[in-house]
Amino acid sequence: MTGLAGVRTRLLRDRDELYVGGEWVRSQSRSVIEVENPATERIVASVVAGDGADVERAVGAARTAWPAWGRRPVEERARLVSRLADELAARGGELGVVTATEIGTPLRQAIAAQAGMPVEVLRASVRVAQRHPWRQSLAGSTVVREPAGVVAAITPWNYPLHQIAAKVGPALLAGCAVVLKPSGLAPLNAFAFAECVAAAGLPPGVFNLVTGPGREVGEALVTHPDVAVVSLTGSVASGARVGQLAAAGVKRCCLELGGKSANVLLDDADLDVAIPSAVWQGLANSGQACNALSRVVAPRDRVAEVEERLVAAVEELRVGDPFADGTDLGPLISAAQRDSVRSHIAGALASGARLLTGGPRAPEGLDRGHFLRPSVFSRVAPDSPLAQDEVFGPVLVVLPYTGESEAVAIANASRYGLSGGVWSADPDRAARVAGQMRTGQVKVNGVRTRDRFDAPFGGYGHSGVGRELGEFGIDEFVEVKSILR
């Protein structure tokens, strides 16, 4: 494919410069990060691994830029963020190729979701910003929302462009300037995003890109005295470390740290609709999603039917080359992630859980690449590691219940609380059960997060602190002032 070859030549290439102050600049660091294609295990590019000096330069550029940016009318900021969305939309096919290559998401899904969702997020954020109460009368005072200042955005590899957009868009609309540190496992899309920023005409310094290791670049950002807000999506361990470091500087943190979300099928659920949705909301992107509904909570008197239907649907999924027609699931991001999932599967088997389909081996013919067959388990104790730990891979567990109260108890028996689902023929009944679930977002009858990008997203407990998207997402990046007179 000539077009595909052109994209690979232009975007899947070595990057030896960082984007700082509106320019592509050289780093003093000579270290690099190699980017692997997880489907082939081949290195497709390398990017510069920045250091503390690069962080200093980027934060300085952001600090210089944000006062003037914050004084611009929100209509002007919204216009430029809309232009950024347009730039991303125009390059959707190219961005899909990049993410399919460095993450392994099947190309058609990469174009629709990995490249499409960031556009939707930015446009939804613009709509929210245009109606946001930046200045309002309240309790005899004038309440003003002002930009917090410089934002450090630290993003993951699994939905990288989406997470960049979910942090950068609201921060820019709030009048802040941003320094982005993307994951070293999937950094190429961030360079493409920076190119879109430049093409959209955003002022120099309001967006800056520094790649590098978390221990050096990430921690330098978090502890920098001129950074006002830290927004991280990552593991619980990463979030705890960032929170600890930020506390010394009394910085605000927005931490989205993953989940182990339950999909509750009530006894009147329509399984013809619920099961295909349950499979996709649990296994999309090979289960590498923080809001994956990986626990299927099913009525005890229907659990055999639920398991049979899940197995049939999962066994129809095609695992393979992300660029091949008809592929449903690609590889895991890395050998380490694949081996971690295998360890969870092995532990479950050793504890007596019943494997209905899948297992720890790659599908036949896929010996190269970090592939695994999607798995479904039953006879899993609700307090077992497989039912409690975030596997972050293509694994579903079925947990039976008797009565609504037990279903809710199982759903809530988790240290996480990011997402969830409820299915019922009666939407009001589903909403009532959803109201009892201790989680930041609950999807009724298959509604997806991407269907409601104006709604807040974030979690309870170990799923994090703060919210993204909608008005709540913008308010993570503002200071609130009361003018009394």
Q: Are residues 397 and 352 in the same domain?
A: yes
Query: Does residue 15 fall inside a structural domain?
Result: yes
Residue 10's pLDDT is 76
| 256 tagged catalytic | yes
Q: Are residues 239 and 152 in the same domain?
A: yes
Q: Are residues 283 and 202 in the same domain?
A: no
Q: Are residues 449 and 340 in the same domain?
A: yes
**Predicted structure pTM score:** 0.96
Query: Does residue 476 fall inside a structural domain?
Result: no
Q: Please, what's the b/e burial string for 75-84 (b: 16 or more CB within 10 A of its CB; e: otherwise)?
A: eebbebbbbb
Q: Which two structure tokens, joined as six digits, stand for 146?
A: 């002002």
Residue 4's pLDDT is 60
| Catalytic residue chosen out of the listed positions 36, 256, 307, 476 | 256
Q: Are residues 307 and 342 in the same domain?
A: yes
DSSP alpha helices (H): ranges in 271-388?
271-283, 303-315, 335-350, 385-388
Q: What is the CATH number of the domain that holds 325?
A: 3.40.309.10
Q: Are residues 223 and 361 in the same domain?
A: no
Phi, psi of 385 (to 5 degrees): -55, -40
Q: Are residues 69 and 118 in the same domain?
A: yes
Dihedral of CA 121/127/133/135: which sign? positive
Beta strands in 109-161 (DSSP E): 135-138, 141-147, 150-154
Q: Are residues 229 and 274 in the same domain?
A: no
Per-residue confidence of the chain (485 residues) as pLDDT tens digits?
445 656 655 778 999 999 999 999 999 999 999 999 999 999 999 999 999 999 999 999 999 999 999 999 999 999 999 999 999 999 999 999 999 999 999 999 999 999 999 999 999 999 999 999 999 999 889 999 999 999 999 999 999 999 999 999 999 999 999 999 999 999 999 999 999 999 999 999 999 999 999 999 999 999 999 999 999 999 999 999 999 999 999 999 999 999 999 999 999 999 999 999 999 999 999 999 999 999 999 999 999 999 999 999 999 999 999 999 999 999 999 999 999 999 999 999 999 999 999 999 999 999 999 999 999 999 999 999 999 999 999 999 999 999 999 999 999 999 999 999 999 999 999 999 999 999 999 999 999 888 889 999 999 999 999 999 999 999 999 999 999 98
Choose the final residue of a domain: 223, 240, 257: 257
Residue 1's pLDDT is 40
Q: Are residues 296 and 420 in the same domain?
A: yes
Chain position carrying tokens 């190269």: 368
Written as one string, the DSSP assignment of 264-277 is: EE-TT--HHHHHHH
Q: Are residues 239 and 279 in the same domain?
A: no
d(CA 44, CA 34) in angstroms, rounded, equals 8
Choose the final residue of a domain: 257, 282, 303: 257
**164 and 153 in contact (C-beta within 8 Å)?**
yes
Query: Does residue 458 fall inside a structural domain?
Result: no
d(CA 270, CA 214) in angstroms, rounded, equals 45
Q: Are residues 287 and 407 in the same domain?
A: yes
Q: Which two structure tokens, joined as six digits, stand for 270?
A: 């329509």
Q: What is the CATH number of the domain that holds 113?
A: 3.40.605.10
Which residues span the domain enclosing 374?
Answer: 262-453
Q: Are residues 189 and 165 in the same domain?
A: yes
Q: Tell me whether strands 420-423 and 227-233 are parallel, antiparallel or unpaired.
A: unpaired
| Count of structural domains within the chain | 2
